[in-house]
Structure 1
């Protein structure tokens, strides 16, 4: 059936930041589920080679990284999503402003930057255990104020409490897709990272924190800290000190953080922790090789569609 747009089509210009916020919510609300035959149950303690002596892991890549989206790839998908949403809405006579390019923002240098907490003396001296000024998260934009008709086409429902509706309604002679234009965009580009990859990332992270080899260097770190005049069981718990709840880092906090970084280096906390975590990831990746191969292909397909969308 051919749909035609009425001559007097309504126009609604909505802040793209709000549209992208809605799109992100729609993606995160229904992540892809692990496939049958997958498992993130660790089977034994993996062996490791001699850990490298490193002070920071910011330039190191974990084995699961190729199956997760980078910051730049997320940006590309979100830019393409905003284009697809705008095109979809235009089919119903609702025009959106062209989206601005999403900036990279203040982000870690990599997924492993600060994964093992503060590891640089300069960062510790400047910020203690507070986030650096450039690392403060950007406040989420306020949701756009939408008319019922605009919300219907955008989400497939007129309810502000429904992120994705059933669709199927007729509007201006065209049928609203399932989940509205946000749903149509997600159907073409997918959601966020695959659940399996996220689960492997989280499982290996948690297992590494209780691994005997990591706990051993935590004890060495703790002894080093005691020699410096600080009493903490491990470098994770030091973050829970209520004295760090001040609006800005204090001199005591900075001095503690500087000692912390020095003891991490002395005990090779980062080298051991990174190596052990990578070993758990490798084990889980091998257990789920076929499913992860599909995850990688799916990501490549999504990014290809995004690139084609942006190019056109």
Structure 2
């Protein structure tokens, strides 16, 4: 399991741009690896929302789908266990190998809802605009270690330099190389399979997450607060149709934030709070997620159990 981290763009803008990318995700259906009766297309009436919270950030809020997705801490635990199991497997073949450490990105949100609704703090907006603090920039991933053909064979199950995994079965130091090598063995022990994308989140849970997001951005209630935000920005001298478009302004691509960028970001924060963009958007998205969860209770219960089993296996690997 590896992190893929950008290295050039500013952290805050990267985080907000990641949220924008989620907005563009299509709402698709899945059977979560063959489970019947699963769907990520909301059915029935538009879900009701009662009394959206008045909040400037959703960082401390949980979405209904969260129990079926891995938290950042749980991902870290699985990755640590993966490294331990790979190192231990390689040792069985007499090879000293230390799996590369997993380094969380410096700009990783505090939670899945941190900056999900394009929010910033007033202080950050005043100081950095849409650029973000230097200390929040991503940490470059270390280059992959150079290994010999023999090490690669045991590690991946294939001696080919460009092979990510092989069939295994070869004899090495009197032992059979497992399918996919030690990398494959570790993933199998930690419950990696096609339905959870090889050790990540289950596809159904991911689709519900993205599907509710897609529905929320076209919901009249969210569009209403977007318009209120746009009207507020216009009174301050800024003309943007919605909070997403302000991030696309090419002027923010400068090496450092300008006074215009800072001023725009400060107005952005104030207008989001005035229109309660974060509170309404969060509440509407949560309502769509609840609707989709209700339509997929059986499959999601199985996903939750599989995640618990995987984390239990990770804890055992780390403690033994």
Q: Output the TM-score relative to the length of structure 1.
A: 0.86
Number of the residue aligned with 2:181:
180
Number of the residue aligned with 1:194:
202
Does the residue aligned with 2:154 lie in a helix, a strand or coil? helix
Work out whether residues 61 and 113 of structure 2, in 8 Å CA contact, stay in contact via their aligned partners in 1.
yes
Number of the residue aligned with 1:210:
218
- Which of the numbers 275, 289, 296 marks the counterpart of 1:288? 296
Work out whether residues 119 and 261 of structure 1, in 8 Å CA contact, stay in contact via their aligned partners in 2.
yes
Cα distance between partner residues in 2 of 1:279 and 1:249: 37
Number of the residue aligned with 2:41:
41
Work out whether residues 56 and 119 of structure 2, in 8 Å CA contact, stay in contact via their aligned partners in 1.
no
Q: CA deviation at 1:159?
A: 2.1
- Which of the numbers 207, 228, 231 marks the counterpart of 1:220? 228
For structure 2, the residue ranges without an aligned partner over 5 or more in a row are 5-30, 193-198
Q: How far does the alpha carbon of each residue in 1:37-59 deviate from its partner, in whole angstroms, 9 at most, with x for none?
A: 21111214211112111111111
- Which of the numbers 267, 272, 291 marks the counterpart of 2:275? 267
Q: CA deviation at 1:206?
A: 1.4
Does the residue aligned with 2:53 lie in a helix, a strand or coil? coil
1:258 aligned to 2:266? yes
State how 1:61-80 maps to structure 2 within 5 Å. Answer: 61-80=62-81
Work out whether residues 57 and 274 of structure 1, in 8 Å CA contact, stay in contact via their aligned partners in 2.
yes
Q: How far does the alpha carbon of each residue in 1:141-169 deviate from its partner, in whole angstroms, 9 at most, with x for none?
A: 21221111111111111223221211111
Q: CA deviation at 1:99?
A: 6.6
Cα distance between partner residues in 1 of 2:79 and 2:166: 21
1:90 aligned to 2:91? yes
1:299 aligned to 2:307? yes
Q: 1:33 to 1:80 in 2, by over 3 A?
A: same
- Which has the higher Rg, Structure 1 or Structure 2? 1
Tell me whether 92-101 or 189-198 shows the greater mean CA deviation: 92-101
Number of the residue aligned with 1:133:
134
Q: How far does the alpha carbon of each residue in 1:80-133 deviate from its partner, in whole angstroms, 9 at most, with x for none?
A: 111100111111111124776856854212111110113321121122112333
Tell me whether 98-107 or 77-86 shows the greater mean CA deviation: 98-107
Cα distance between partner residues in 1 of 2:298 and 2:95: 43
Q: How far does the alpha carbon of each residue in 1:271-295 deviate from its partner, in whole angstroms, 9 at most, with x for none?
A: 1100000011111111111111111
Aligned-residue Cα RMSD (Å) equals 2.0
Q: Output the TM-score relative to the length of structure 2.
A: 0.84
Work out whether residues 21 and 141 of structure 1, in 8 Å CA contact, stay in contact via their aligned partners in 2.
no
